[in-house]
């Protein structure tokens, strides 16, 4: 452990426990992290849902190094640089048709707050200024900005902080009594989207600017939308003039075998947020991707001058744009989205083979995402999964846990033999975990 470990206040971490027994990475390559003593750790989480193309991809590394020597920083307030326009165009080309106006941020949290602001600005621009309310969903995660925190549905993230007024919530879609061990989209639960009609009846459509959801819930434990659920939400939102925002910080860039979950499910939102895989995690970046009608309404209706008073010092940073362009090229040249589609059946079969494993009460999956939910210890919820997390790391496999759920999201370059290794290690550790 470094001698100055006390200075770093670690995010979403039990700082006292970690600093008493640290686990560190030193290098990474391909499918593996390596500890300071040279031990390989197979990455079953793509870092933090980020490194979809695997670690240290040469094209991405070289692009960042080259860009740093050419143009290390340039502002995008009233000025710009060519790389940000090139990247925006390349990004719009892989999103569903019509979603082609890109506002760059530095993270998923900033992308969500940006999308919420865009939704308010759009409603005002089209003469619907009374639409200031947002609808989120229970068990959702939309980052840690005050906007994303407010529309998110994770109690531990919210309870210590002030939140935006005027937010209500759809019910979550996880019911193990009706959908345990579903493969892909559960058959039960489409009707849960109808609760949006109840909220519209309660508040009035004329007060609601947008609904924001993760098409597949990530941080709360890979909760897959029921069949027809997203379609129903889209229909209700359209009928009442409410914008639909897909938070795709986790699902974009191949996780489901397509560039976006919107394309995978064939459901078109009005706005999409993305980050993480946008640069393969190599440089912080995010984006709010808007339908052209939204951009046109805000920009064309504004008085002369600045149309949208929002932005970040590093919006469209040259290094991030270079990393993003190289990342999209890597996805394309290695055909990684198609590779994810090809690997998904084996990944599903391997995940559901844990149905009979010790402590397992549910397995759910879609694309290259899976969750293994464990029965909590009666006296200490969350500690069983954390014990599995620590032991797996110590024995060479990196997983992620949230409460008592193991979440898996490996890089798209994974081999079938490595998929087998991940699930075999989880089974082995569960056998030895009380």
Q: Can you give the CATH number for the domain in which 10 is found?
A: 3.90.1150.10
Sign of the alpha-carbon torsion through 248, 253, 256, 258: positive
Residue 61: which residues within 8 A CB-CB, separation 6 or more?
282
User: Using CA atoms, how far apart are residues 432 and 434, in angstroms rounded to an integer?
Assistant: 7
Helix 336-352 crosses helix 416-431 at what angle (to 10 degrees)?
30
Residue 162 has pLDDT above 80, yes or no: no
**Which among 312, 333, 354 is the end of a domain?**
333
Cα torsion angle, 287, 293, 294, 295, sign: positive
- For position 250, which CATH number holds? 3.40.640.10
Structural domain of 177:
61-333
Residues 78 and 143 both lie in one domain? yes
Question: Do both 203 and 301 map to the same domain?
Answer: yes
265 lies in the same domain as 342:
no
Rounded CA gap, 269 and 97, in Å?
11
The pLDDT value given to residue 2:
53
* Whether residue 341 is found in the same domain as residue 274: no
Do 84 and 197 fall within a single domain?
yes
Kindly state whether residues 28 and 140 are assigned to the same domain: no
Question: Residue 60's pLDDT is what?
Answer: 98
Which percentage of the chain shows pLDDT scores above 90? 95
Say how far apart CA 80 and CA 85 lie, in whole Å. 8
Tell me, what's the pLDDT at 196? 98
Residue that is last in its domain, among 279, 310, 333: 333
Q: Do residue 307 and residue 171 come from a single domain?
A: yes
Domain co-membership, 263 together with 388: no
360 and 230 inside one domain: no
Same-domain status, 202 and 292: yes
**Total structural domains in the chain?**
2
Q: Is the same domain home to 217 and 84?
A: yes
pLDDT at 158: 85
Which of 333, 361, 391 marks a domain boundary?
Answer: 333
The model's pLDDT over 345-371, given as tens digits with 9 standing for 90+, comes to 999 999 999 999 999 999 999 999 999
Supply the pLDDT for residue 3: 55
Place of tokens 């409460």: 403
| Per-residue pLDDT at 1 exceeds 60 | no
Q: How far apart are CA 45 and CA 64, in angstroms?
A: 23
Question: Are residues 143 and 271 both part of a single domain?
Answer: yes
Mean pLDDT within 62-75? 98
Task: Give the pLDDT confidence score for residue 215 in this predicted structure.
Answer: 98
Asked whether the beta carbons of 285 and 326 are under 8 A apart, the reply is: no
pLDDT given for residue 222 in this prediction: 98
Specify the pLDDT at position 410: 98
pLDDT of 34: 98
Report pLDDT digits (tens) over 208-237: 999 999 999 999 999 999 999 999 999 999
d(CA 83, CA 184): 38
Q: What is the mean pLDDT of the chain?
A: 97
Q: Residue 86: what pLDDT?
A: 98
> What's the average model confidence in pLDDT over 175-199?
98
CA distance 118 to 340: 32
pLDDT higher than threshold 60 for residue 323: yes
Characterise 376 by phi-psi region: left (phi > 0), alpha (psi -120 to 50), beta (else): beta
Q: What's the pLDDT score for residue 155?
A: 86
The pLDDT value recorded for residue 408 is 98
Q: What is the mean pLDDT of residues 97-125?
A: 98
Say if pTM beats, i.e. exceeds, 0.75.
Answer: yes
Tell me what pLDDT residue 307 has: 97
In tens, the pLDDT along 257-300 reads 999 999 999 999 999 999 999 999 999 999 999 999 999 999 99
């Amino acid at each position: 452990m470094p001698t100055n470990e006390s200075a770093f206040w670690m995010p979403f971490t039990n700082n006292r426990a970690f600093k008493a027994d640290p686990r560190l990475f030193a290098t990474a390559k391909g499918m593996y992290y390596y500890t300071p003593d040279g031990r390989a750790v197979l990455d079953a989480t793509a870092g933090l849902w980020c490194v979809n193309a695997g670690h240290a991809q040469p094209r991405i590394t070289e692009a960042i190094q080259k860009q740093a020597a050419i143009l290390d920083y340039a502002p995008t307030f009233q000025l710009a640089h060519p790389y940000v326009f090139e990247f925006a165009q390349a990004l719009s080309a892989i999103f569903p048709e019509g979603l082609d106006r890109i506002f760059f941020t530095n993270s998923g949290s900033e992308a969500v707050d940006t999308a919420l602001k865009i939704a308010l600005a759009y409603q005002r621009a089209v003469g619907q200024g009374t639409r200031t309310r947002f609808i989120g969903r229970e068990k959702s995660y939309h980052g840690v900005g005050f906007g994303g925190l407010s529309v998110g549905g994770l109690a531990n993230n919210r309870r210590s902080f002030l939140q935006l007024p005027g937010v209500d919530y759809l019910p979550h879609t996880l019911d193990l009594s009706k959908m345990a061990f579903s493969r892909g989209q559960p058959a039960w639960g489409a009707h849960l989207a109808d609760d949006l009609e109840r909220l519209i009846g309660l508040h009035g459509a004329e007060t609601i600017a947008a609904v924001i959801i993760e098409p597949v819930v990530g941080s709360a434990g890979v909760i897959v939308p029921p069949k027809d659920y997203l379609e129903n939400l889209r229909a209700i939102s359209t009928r009442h003039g409410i914008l639909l925002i897909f938070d795709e910080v986790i699902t974009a860039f191949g996780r489901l075998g397509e560039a976006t979950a919107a394309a995978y499910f064939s459901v078109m939102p009005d706005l999409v947020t993305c980050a993480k895989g946008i640069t393969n995690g190599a440089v912080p970046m995010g984006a709010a991707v808007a339908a052209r009608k939204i951009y046109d309404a805000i920009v064309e209706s504004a008085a002369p001058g600045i149309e949208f008073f929002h932005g970040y010092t590093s919006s469209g940073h040259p290094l991030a744009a270079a990393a993003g362009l190289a990342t999209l090229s890597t996805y394309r040249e290695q055909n990684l989205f198609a590779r994810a589609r090809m690997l998904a059946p084996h990944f599903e079969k391997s995940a559901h083979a844990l149905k009979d494993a010790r402590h397992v009460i549910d397995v759910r999956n879609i694309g290259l995402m899976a969750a293994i939910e464990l029965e909590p210890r009666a006296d200490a919820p969350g500690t069983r999964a954390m014990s599995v997390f620590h032991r797996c790391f110590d024995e060479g496999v990196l997983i992620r846990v949230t409460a008592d759920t193991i979440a898996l999201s490996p890089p798209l370059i994974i081999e079938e033999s490595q998929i087998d290794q991940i699930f075999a290690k989880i089974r082995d550790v569960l056998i030895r975990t009380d």
